[in-house]
Amino acid sequence: MFDPTVDLKEQMVEHRRTQILLGAAKVFAEKGYHKATTKEIAQAAGVSEGTIYNYFDNKRELLLAMIELLALQSLKSIINTQPPADPKEFITIILRDRYQLAQERGYLIMPILAEMFTDAELRQEVYQKLAMPVAGFLERYIQTHIDSGMFRPVNPVIATRVFIGSIVVNFAMKLANLDARYEDISPDALIEELASLFMDMLLNPERANEK
């Protein structure tokens, strides 16, 4: 039996969840998870405190649900890209994409990162859902190019984390206003420099001559 009201209902529930989640994200970003109160979240989401508990078991579930939300947005862009043949060009595309994501959604990820350091379960969750999909994609890309002889025989797992750590720290520096010298580096210049460094790190010098 086909019951269209079920779908409609599900849609409405999903819509409410997202509405609450976005309210929570806003407040988490401003105050951090612990200092955000459910009252503030309710206000930001435009619902009452009680309603939050109709859609989420407790405050922590809001944080966990935000991971899924982020994962969705984080992967959408990166995975579907058809990699260009030139690795530097590809890395530049990825850097641009991640920089944009950091700029637009950085506030969403900050409270999650903060809690990761304390909460082992959350750590697992974030690693599985947010980090691994991207990391795995990069690992495979590196491995492929090692096999083809274009990249040096580096450890792709480690090299991927070098890549991730480098961009996380550098983009954080650029966006957090902690070091005045980053103000003099344009986003494009930063991306170009990082891409160059990675290329020098990865490209097989023997093959480079062929080019």
Partner DNA sequence: TATGAATGAGATTTCATTCAT
Partner DNA sequence: TATGAATGAAATCTCATTCAT
Residues of this chain that interact with a copy of itself (CB under 8 A) are 31-35, 110-111, 113-119, 123-124, 127, 152, 154-155, 157-159, 161-162, 164-170, 173, 176, 178-179, 181-182, 185, 190, 193-194, 196-198, 200-202, 205
Q: C-beta of 39: minimal distance to DNA in Å?
A: 5
Q: Which of 149-169 are b and which e, b meaning 16 or more Cβ less than 10 Å from the residue's Cβ?
A: ebbbebebeebbebbeeebee
Residues that bind DNA (CB under 7 A): 16, 35-39, 47-55, 58-60
Q: Which of 105-132 are b and which e, b meaning 16 or more Cβ less than 10 Å from the residue's Cβ?
A: bbebbbbbebbbeebeebeebbeebbbe
Binding-site partner at residue 127 among a copy of itself, DNA, none, CB < 5 to 8 Å by type: a copy of itself
Binding-site partner at residue 50 among DNA, a copy of itself, none, CB < 5 to 8 Å by type: DNA
Q: C-beta of 10: minimal distance to DNA in Å?
A: 11
Q: C-beta of 14: minimal distance to DNA in Å?
A: 12
Radius of gyration of the chain (CA): 21
